[in-house]
């Protein structure tokens, strides 16, 4: 009973006290922004690079899907680089000769338009790339992967992960819910994503594909696999599976549409289930306290 009264009175006093606290908080953020602002911004930019660029670019570790960005500022002026980063396809469509050159060097793979990239952020990223280029060893030199030869066991494990027969350790959805590969007998896969039969060739081989899978840089996969990243060993077996697929299929283009469709449907249900559980977590984190606060009021 006593506790209820207390919670009641704190209720009445809440609004003025809250404004107080809010302004105090605001003031301290302002101070904080001046003191640690630049450092925090640098950290935020590095985190952004890691999440959105590192799957395709190293700084000083050689080419992945895209070129090594070490000393990129010496290859092209900043204004051009910013414009390219904001809309790579437009720059290529315009017939820009340098864009065409780097496109050719990347086997025709066009850089994705990165979500959340603004002119300011592009400039901060180029500052970061310049600073990292000056270091002897950048923190973005590239993720190290085992380069042991693939075994038949790797290929089989990768196939099982792809099909969802072996679940991913950290709870990521099976690839087959959104992707197809040819030459899998009856199993085909979903139609939402792309056909991955020749993905290894397309992106330039084992190293670029492995790096790409560490933080998949597409709007569909990124939010899911950011929360459920794949383990290095799982990535290795998937890459082994894709390389084997490309070899096995050769030029065969046959597909089995109905099976793909049905399996895709089942897959989508599973993916929706995953999103649903993500939303539940969000409910708990944000709406939960509000709702239980409301309940407290009714029984007081």
Q: Which is nearer to ligand HEC, 103 or 245 (CB)?
A: 103
User: Residue 100: which residues within 8 A CB-CB, separation 6 or more?
Assistant: 92
State the Cα angle at 282 between 279 and 283, rounded to 5°: 90
Q: Which is nearer to ligand HEC, 109 or 131 (CB)?
A: 109
- For residues 30-43, b (16+ Cβ closer than 10 Å) or e, as one string? eeeeeeeeeeeeee
User: Residues in the site for ligand HEC, rule: CB under 6 A?
Assistant: 52-53, 55-57, 65-67, 69, 72, 75-76, 81, 84-85, 88, 102-103, 106, 109-112, 114, 117, 125, 172-173, 175, 177-179, 192-194, 196, 199, 202, 212-213, 216-218, 220-221, 224, 238, 271
CA–CA distance, 217 with 235 (Å, rounded to integer):
15
Q: Minimum distance from CB of 214 to ligand HEC (Å)? A: 11
Q: Which is nearer to ligand HEC, 33 or 262 (CB)?
A: 262
Q: Minimum distance from CB of 67 to ligand HEC (Å)? A: 4
Q: Which of 195, 171, 191, 166 is nearest to 183 (CA)?
A: 195
Q: Which of 176, 166, 194 is nearest to 260 (CA)?
A: 176
Q: Look-up: residue for tokens 């603004």?
A: 118
Q: Which is nearer to ligand HEC, 123 or 259 (CB)?
A: 123
Q: Minimum distance from CB of 286 to ligand HEC (Å)? A: 24
Q: Which is nearer to ligand HEC, 20 or 178 (CB)?
A: 178
Q: Minimum distance from CB of 226 to ligand HEC (Å)? A: 12
């Amino acid at each position: 009973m006593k506790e209820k009264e207390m919670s009641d009175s704190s209720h009445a006093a809440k609004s003025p006290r809250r404004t107080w606290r809010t302004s105090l908080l605001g003031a301290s953020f302002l101070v904080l922004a001046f003191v640690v602002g630049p450092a925090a911004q640098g950290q935020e930019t590095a985190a952004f690079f890691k999440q959105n660029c590192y799957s395709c670019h190293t700084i000083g570790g050689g080419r992945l899907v895209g070129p090594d960005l070490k000393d990129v500022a010496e290859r092209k002026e900043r204004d051009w680089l910013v414009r390219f980063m904001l809309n790579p396809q437009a720059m290529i469509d315009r017939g820009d000769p340098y864009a065409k050159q780097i496109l050719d060097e990347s086997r025709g793979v066009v850089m994705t338009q990165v979500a959340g990239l603004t002119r300011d952020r592009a400039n901060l990223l180029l500052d970061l790339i310049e600073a990292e280029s000056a270091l002897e060893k950048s923190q973005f030199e590239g993720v190290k992967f085992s380069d042991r030869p693939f075994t038949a066991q790797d290929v089989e494990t990768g196939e099982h992960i792809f099909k969802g027969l072996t679940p991913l350790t950290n709870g990521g959805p099976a690839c087959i819910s959104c992707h197809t590969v040819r030459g899998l007998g009856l199993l085909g896969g979903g139609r939402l994503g792309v056909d991955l039969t020749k993905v290894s060739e397309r992106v330039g081989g084992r190293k670029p594909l492995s790096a790409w899978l560490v933080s998949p840089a597409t709007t569909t996969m990124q939010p899911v696999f950011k929360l459920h990243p794949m383990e290095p060993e799982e990535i290795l077996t998937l890459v082994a599976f894709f390389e084997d697929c490309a070899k096995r299929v050769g030029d065969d283009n046959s597909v089995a549409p109905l099976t793909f469709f049905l399996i895709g449907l089942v897959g989508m249900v599973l993916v929706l289930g995953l999103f649903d559980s993500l939303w539940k977590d969000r409910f708990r984190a944000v709406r939960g306290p509000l709702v239980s606060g409301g309940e407290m009021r009714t029984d007081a």
